[in-house]
Amino acid sequence: MSLISVLLPVKNGGAYLQRAVDSILEQTHSQFELIVVDDHSVDGAVEALRPHPKLRCLGNAGVGVSAATQTAADVAQGDYLARMDGDDIALPVRLEAQLEFLQQNPGLGLCGAEVEIFADEGELGGGYQRYQHWINQLHTPEEISQSLFIESPIPNPTVMFRREVFEQLGGFRDPVWHEDYDLYLRAHFSGVKMGKPHGVLLRWRDHDLRSTRNQSRYLEKNLVACKAHYLQQHVLGRRPVIICGTGPVGLALHDALIELGVEVIAFNDVAGQRIGQSKRGKPVLSYDAVGPGQEVIYLGALGQLASRKALQRLFDEREMRLWRDYVMCA
């Protein structure tokens, strides 16, 4: 039976940490080790963890979540490496289901899982519900690849790697943006395929102290900067760009691309009153001339799901190809 090493970096895990640890220790798959790395906490939560034969606690050899994860990976013994966060709850079958999924799909280098997002108090807002629905419907390598520049398609605390793939990619780096999204983009452009089994395997907790709410690397502007970097490095080449969408999403992407020296020549919009106007000094054009075989690449930058679907239908009707003619970026 394959050994799985669960890597759990934590900083001030507080009252949530013991339940997160217990949810791993209660897994139906019995061959695992749990490595908790304390990222210089001051709350005593790691020291207060109940001892267990499968639990190992270490101090971070560096500073920050990426260094803490790598500290765990450096001592891990498993053939598979799984991430976990100190404020979430893994369902008992999580490790078993993900391991079986990877073993049944040898072409995949890593997998994620569906999640249930929950809050300690009150109900989740509509934005979280829409995001949960979006990530939970992405399962196949094709679905994940097509959605890769919209948002991170695999929640960080659900990912499981084949060890050799994790090492081939160099593990988590420490960029100014999301370390997990950065790794998934590197994986994609290295030819690593990603998937996700059906069924919720993790309860993903939202709370005011969550790192994604309190660390600068998780700000929206850094997410956009990450997208722009990988588009510029791996997709655009020397082709000029037309951005489909004139709202905040399109303008933010424009600004990030311009900062990297990418040539953005125009925007597209469906609203008649905007056609012929300008945004950021660039003309706003209709979609009439959109089509394949041009010396430009279209970047769909639309925040609303319905608008993205309409744009995708237009690209499909005009026989345009993902990565060659267009990329959906939000």
Q: What is the pLDDT of residues 89-137, one digit of tens each?
A: 999 999 999 999 999 999 999 999 999 999 877 666 667 788 899 999 9
Percentage of the chain beyond pLDDT 90 is 84
Residue at which a domain ends, from 170, 188, 215: 215
Q: Are both 317 and 265 inside the same structural domain?
A: yes
CATH number of the domain residue 54 falls in:
3.90.550.10
Q: Are both 237 and 177 inside the same structural domain?
A: no
pTM value is: 0.92
Nearest to 114 by CA among 99, 96, 100, 94: 94
Does the pLDDT at position 260 exceed 70?
yes
In whole angstroms, give the CA distance from residue 118 to residue 35: 25
Query: In this predicted model, what pLDDT tens digit does every residue of 177-214 receive, in sequence order?
Result: 999 999 999 999 999 999 999 999 999 998 565 555 54
Q: Are both 174 and 311 inside the same structural domain?
A: no
Mean pLDDT of all residues belonging to the chain: 93
Query: In this predicted model, what pLDDT tens digit does every residue of 36-53 receive, in sequence order?
Result: 999 999 999 999 999 999
Is 45 in contact with 64 (CB distance < 8 Å)? no
Query: In this predicted model, what pLDDT tens digit does every residue of 282-320 receive, in sequence order?
Result: 999 999 989 887 799 999 999 888 899 999 999 999 999
Tell me what pLDDT residue 289 has.
83
Q: Are both 168 and 272 inside the same structural domain?
A: no
**Mean pLDDT confidence for 246-261:** 96
Tell me what pLDDT residue 26 has.
98
Is 155 in contact with 117 (CB distance < 8 Å)? no
Q: Considering only residues 276 and 113, tell me which one the structure prediction assigns the higher pLDDT.
A: 113
What pairing do the DSSP bridges indicate for beta strands 55-59 and 32-38? parallel
